[in-house]
Every structure is written in C-alpha cells, then in structure tokens.
Amino acid sequence: MALLRPLDKLPTLDVATVLLLGTEETLLQQLGAAIIEECEGTAKIQVHMASSLPLPSDRECFRPRIDLIVFVLSLHSKYSLKTVELSLPHVDASFFLGKVCFLVTGGEMLP
C-alpha cells in the first residue's frame, strides 16, 4: 500500500488531474461531467473516480499525477463517511495544503 503523495510524479503540461472519491457512483459521474464541461476550452482536465483508497499501484495500472482529491460524502449514508475515514490514512499530509477538498451532499437547507 503506497501513500498517495502530491509530488510522486512530475506534472504534465496544461493538464490537471482530479480524483473524485466516494461511494455514490452516479453522483461522481455527474460531478466529473460538470467539471469537464465547465473547464472545456480553458484547460485540459482529467477526472478519475474511485470508491476508496489506496489506489492500485503503478505496476498494476497507469496512474497519472493527481493534482486534487475531492472526497464526496453523503449525509444519507454512514458507509460514505466510513469509506472516507478509512481512505484518509492513505493520503500524505502535504496533500491537505490546497490539494484536498470535501464535498458533502444530501443536506437540506434550513428556512
């Protein structure tokens, strides 16, 4: 199990890679499509999705450098929170300096 570090790989010119991590695949796909659509024409964005960390090692599959990790939490699922909690130890602490965000879904607006 390799720790996910922000500087493990050299950056690719004009490309940013976003990792969406969560248990709700439909929501991840919608978010990924929205990110790509919003950035179309201005920058090249690659979106990868995973249900949990650790990711497969480089020997098993090609994995690009990850520029941003988005942890997607659903307030309707305890499993969603547990998955994020179990994935956090697989992320190097330096990722939390501007390279990680948490997106919480399923909340209701109070009047």
Q: What is the pLDDT of residues 85-103, one digit of tens each?
A: 999 999 988 888 888 888 8
What pLDDT shows up at residue 59? 56
Give SS3 for 50.
strand
H or E stretch at 32: helix 25-39
Contacts of 98 (CB under 8 A, 6+ apart): none
Q: What type of residue sits at position 30?
A: Q
Q: What type of residue sits at position 54?
A: P
pTM for this entry:
0.81
Confidence check: pLDDT of 81 > 60: yes
Instruction: Give the start-to-end residue ranges of the domains of the chain.
Output: 17-50
Tokens 């990110």 locate to 35
Q: How confident is the model at residue 10 (pLDDT cuts 50, 70, 90)?
A: low
Pairing of strands 44-50, 68-74: unpaired
What pLDDT shows up at residue 41? 79
